[in-house]
Structure formats: C-alpha cells, structure tokens
Structure 1
Amino acid sequence: MRTRPPRTHVQRSTLTAAALALALAGVTVLASPQQAGAVESTPIGFGAGTTGGGGTAAVTVSTLAAFRTAVTGDAAKVVKVNGLITLSGQVDVGSNTTVLGVGSSSGFTGGGLRLKKVTNVVIRNLNISKPLAPSDGVTVESSTKVWVDHNSFSADRSHDKDYYDGLLDINHGSDNVTVSWNTFKDHFKGSLVGHSDKNASQDTGHLKVTYHHNHFSNVYSRIPSLRFGTGHFYDNYVVGADNAVHSRMGAQMLVENNVFRDTKVAVTTNRSSDVDGYANLRGNDLGGATTEISRTGTFTSAPYSYTAEPASSVVASVTSGAGAGKL
C-alpha cells in the first residue's frame, strides 16, 4: 500500500457546508472512499510525534529470552518479532522502542507487553492473543507518546469474562496515545482507559487518546471505556457489542464517522460510575443502536489535523486495512 501523509487542504467544490466547517477546524473530510486506506508512516492524533526507535538498525528475535533482552533500556531500538512467542505475564518495554511483527502471524500469546513509566514507544504489526488475567495484551501505564498500530488483538468468549484481562488498557495518567488500524476480536473487555473512579488526582488532565480505523468484532464492551480523560473516536467499525463507547467520570469524548452494527448501545455516558461522562456525536452510522447521552461535552474540535473519512466508506477501508499483515 502507498504511504500518504494526512491531507492538509480541501476542495470546496466537493464538500458539504458541514464538511467545510470541519475543515476550518483542522479536519480534512475525504470526498470518496478511493482516497482512503493508505498506511500512515507516522501517527495521527494525540500520539503524533511518536517515533519509537526511529531509523535505528533492527534486531530480529524469535525467543522470549532474546525479546526481553532486546526491549530493555531507554536507548533507541527497533525490535522485530519473528514467529509467535508464548508469554506468562507481561514483558516490560523500554522507552524509545519500536516493536514490529514480521509478516502476518508473528507476536505473542498468553500474556502481553507492559509500557510502564516510559515514553516514545511504537507497537506495530503484532498478533496479541489470549492474555490471561491479570495480564493485558498491552498495558500503557504512566507513559507518554505511544502509537499502537496495525495489530490483531484477540481472545475468546467461551471462558468467564474475567479469565482474560483487557486487550489494550491505558491508565495511571498516561498521555498522548494513538490507537489506529487494529483489530479487536472475540473478547469481553476491549480497551479500558483509566482504571479506577478513585484515580482523579493522577488522571485528570491526562489520558488523551485517539482511536481511528479500528475494527472491533464480537467485543462485549469497553470500546473504549474512558474515565477522566479526553478521547477522540473516529472512523472505527464496531460489530456485535453490547455497549461500545463509554464516557464516564467527567471524560470528554468526540465520536464521529463511526459505523456500528449488531450493537445494543453505541455510546453511553451514564453507566457504572457515580459521575457521568460527556460525549459529542457527529456523522456516525448507528445501524439501529441506541445512545445514552446524559451530558453533551465541550470537546468538539480535536487539537490536531486529521483525515475524517465518511462513515459510508469506513467498513470497506477498515475491513481491508486493519490488523497485522497489512503494512
């Protein structure tokens, strides 16, 4: 696929008045599906500027011992994972690191990766499956500048909901994260942002996360669930959820141009926590799903330029472009 930077201009003759208003706020609206689907070489959204190991010469590993050694420390490094590595628990990844799967079937099963008190980390093209509790597939904890892109996360729903932990959880004041072009399949708890209602002192003003062009299939909830922070959820495809986007504990969410199918509640702001969240919705195809919006938020314009693909082309773009093996 051809790498293309995000567009920075629009043609007024091809856009509606609403699209022009978005363009003035820094949003580019694609005029046709044919313009969509290119693989980004750098993250778009709150995680912009994340480079990981950059152009550092890559080291390829195929065993757990070699992987642990390769991702340790804060020096710039690019670590390629060749094959599927079985984990028990999580492996800590150092700062200034790119972890990149080789081909379409490399990655980890049984556990996951932890980014704790680190910065500038890229996680791409990995298969991450069946993270046994208490391990998440990927945990981002007290960390900044993270890009999680083109991975395939999965488990199964034949076990109790607590048998596995989250596929991708972001917590403890983490910030400036982009989650793009991933697949999340067959799981109860998709992506939790902000682990507790009681962590306001650490999380308030942080937990800024962008989700775009992800495919959530047969994931029960937490798509995502966001406390305290600021979430931008656009151009995602959600199928088979009970409740999907969940804004709580004063979180601000902008939910735009997504497609929901076979989903009961697309967006809620008033479940499970003592304090409701906020949400703004625009351009979504709810597919018959309901919404529970108790409070409309002030987050109406993201503080970065990005490409807003219309909901009418999201299914084609996401099903063809998301997941491992598409880089």
Structure 2
Amino acid sequence: MRTRPPRTHARRSALAAAVAAAATVAVLALPQQAGAAESSPVGFGAGTTGGGSASAVTVSTLSAFKSAVAGSTAKVVKVSGTIPLSGQVDIGANTTVLGVGSSSGFTGGGLRLKNVGNVVLRNLNISKAVGTDAITVQGSTKVWIDHNSLSSDRDHGKDYYDGLLDITHASDYVTVSWNTFKDHYKGSLAGHSDSNASEDTGHLRVTYHHNWFNNVNSRIPSLRFGTGHFYDNYVVGADTAVHSRMGAQMLVENNVFRSTKVAVTTNRDSETDGYANLRGNDLGGATTEISQSGSFTSPPYGYSAEAASSVASSVTAGAGAGKI
C-alpha cells in the first residue's frame, strides 16, 4: 500500500494559499446585496476619501462640531444625536462627517462645502433647513454624499426652505448615492444660474445613483452646463423630475418613476435646451419632453446598473441614514 508523504510546511502553506484564493474568488463572484453600502464612491466622485483613516472624534453639540470640522487636515467627525442649527456650518477639506446610528444629524439648518476638496458626508439626517439648503456644495471638488436622509415638509411655500442638495459654482466630481430626499419642493439643483456659463462650463460632473425621491416636486435633479449620470434612482410623486438645461448632458438610465407627471425634460424654463439620453427606464406612465438627445452615452468610470425591475425594492430597502 502506498503511503502518503508527510505534508511539509511549504506544502501546507501552498494549500492554505490555494484555499484562500478560491474563497476570495467565490466572494468576488457573489452579487452585491441590494442596498449593501459601498466602501468608496462609484461615479464621478470616485477617489474621494474624506478623512480616510484619521482617528475619529465624536461630537454632540454645535460648538464641538464647528470646531471639529474646521481646517484642512484629515479628520473623521462622528455626529451623535440631533444638533439644532440656524443657517449653515462650513465643512473643511479632507473631512468625513458620519452620523452615529440611524437618527443622528441636524435640524433647522444645513452644511456647506465652499471651495474645499475631498469631503464625505454619510449617514446623516438633515431636516427642515429653513431659508437655506440642507447641503450646499459650492466651488468644491471630490465630494461623496451617501446614505443620508434629507427632508423638510410641504406645508409652507416653495421658498420657505431652499434646496435639499444644491451643487453650484463649478463644483466637480461629485457622487450622490443611496440618499432619501423627502417632502420637499426643490430637490437638487446643479448649476444655479443660466448666466453662469463662464464658470460652470466644463465642470458640474455629477453621478446620482440609488437615491429615493419621495414627494419631491421638481429638480430631480436640475442640471445646467454640466454632465450628469442619473441611474437606478426611484422617483415617486414628482411634477417634473430630471431637467437638463443650458446645454447640459444627461444620461438617464434604469430609473423607476411613479406618480410622476414629467420624468425627463430638456426644454423648460431656460433659453437654451439641454440634452438627454434615456435607456432602460420604467416611466410608469410619466411623459418625457426630449428636444435633443446628447453625446453622453458612456460614463468614464466603471459601474454596474441594476435593471429597473429591481430598483424600487433595493432602493427602498437600502437608501437613507441607518442603512450602512
């Protein structure tokens, strides 16, 4: 009878490495669960790291928060509980702001990123920012806004609150993913004015994916001059959703629209129309107003768009604070 030679240390190491490699391949082959949080942004905001691996500091008061987010050194700031605001707090460069648990964040005001780079905002509840935006991104690059819950109410006039998320003044390379936008008139504006072409042209590259817009009247989003990729989003109860204007290029892909009047328009409100290409969407009876299709059909980054048939279930299960 043949006897098996004893396993040497080298053979055992080789076997262990082979098993580990096979396990890694198996894990990589598994599909991502619906709503599973990415560890880094997909889309135009790819490469945004915020505070990276800096030691986190946890704050629960406005004064501590303002101090913690100031400056441009790498920092991770965790917000515990709900902090009342009036107006906005400026966030410094190279910052991650992360809500603790499912209900931490801000009410009454919002956050502003002005002329900064490399900022991550995640897992925050921001509600009822009176007279201002819940989040303003102004003149800033490399931004990731992920798994936040942004809301107000529609009991007041449309200008009582401003936008839930406005991206302006040549901001660039932004990803907006897995957020909820709820009970609001003006959802997300990218490019604030028809007369700002000299500053905005060549910028305002924004990806929106897996967001849930629920009872938001319009600007889902409204984009001027820039390049927008809007995929795998769930829109419910809008008057006018995606609005491409002033020569903006939009790719609108595999989204679901329900109880929405106009899903996509390129020819409203501005003197110059925008461009839009549509593919794989479930319009749910909504109309479209496409005066011109554009040249933006292939985003310059890797991504995987799930079919529209599964978008509503994955987005409602996975979007918003408390889902990471």
**Pairing partner for 2:240 from 233, 236, 243:** 243
Name the CA distance, whole Å, in 2 between partners of 1:268 and 1:322.
25
The within-5 A match list for 1:52-71 is: 52-71=50-69
- Partner SS state of residue 77, structure 2: strand
Larger Rg: 2
Task: Answer whether contact 2:34 2:317 (CA < 8 A) is retained.
Answer: no
Name the CA distance, whole Å, in 1 between partners of 2:281 and 2:45.
23
Name the CA distance, whole Å, in 2 between partners of 1:37 and 1:107.
21
Per-residue CA deviations over 1:232-289 (Å, capped at 9, x if unaligned) read: 0000000000000000000000000000000000000000000000000000000000
Gaps of 5+ in 2: 1-27
Name the CA distance, whole Å, in 2 between partners of 1:81 and 1:99.
7
Percent of pairs identical after alignment?
Answer: 79
**Pairing partner for 1:95 from 81, 86, 93:** 93
1:234 has 2:247 as partner: no
Task: Answer whether contact 2:52 2:76 (CA < 8 A) is retained.
Answer: yes
Per-residue CA deviations over 1:112-138 (Å, capped at 9, x if unaligned) read: 0000000000000000001111x1100
1:217 has 2:214 as partner: yes
Bigger RCO (CA 8 Å, 6+ sep): 1
4+ long deviations beyond 4 Å = none
Aligned position for 1:197: 194
Q: Which amino acid aligns with 1:299?
A: F
- Partner SS state of residue 283, structure 2: coil
Per-residue CA deviations over 1:264-322 (Å, capped at 9, x if unaligned) read: 00000000000000000000000000000001000000000001100000001000000
Q: TM-score, normalised by structure 1?
A: 0.89
Per-residue CA deviations over 1:13-54 (Å, capped at 9, x if unaligned) read: xxxxxxxxxxxxxxxxx9x8x754321000000000000000
Name the CA distance, whole Å, in 2 between partners of 1:316 and 1:305.
23
Name the CA distance, whole Å, in 1 between partners of 2:286 and 2:84.
38
CA RMSD of the aligned region, Å? 1.3
Name the CA distance, whole Å, in 2 between partners of 1:180 and 1:170.
14
The within-5 A match list for 1:30-49 is: 36-49=34-47
Name the CA distance, whole Å, in 1 between partners of 2:146 and 2:247.
27
Aligned position for 1:129: 127
Aligned position for 1:15: none
Aligned position for 1:168: 165
Name the CA distance, whole Å, in 2 between partners of 1:309 and 1:230.
21
1:326 has 2:287 as partner: no
1:288 has 2:278 as partner: no
Aligned position for 2:274: 277
Q: Which amino acid aligns with 2:280?
A: G
Q: TM-score, normalised by structure 2?
A: 0.90
Aligned length: 297
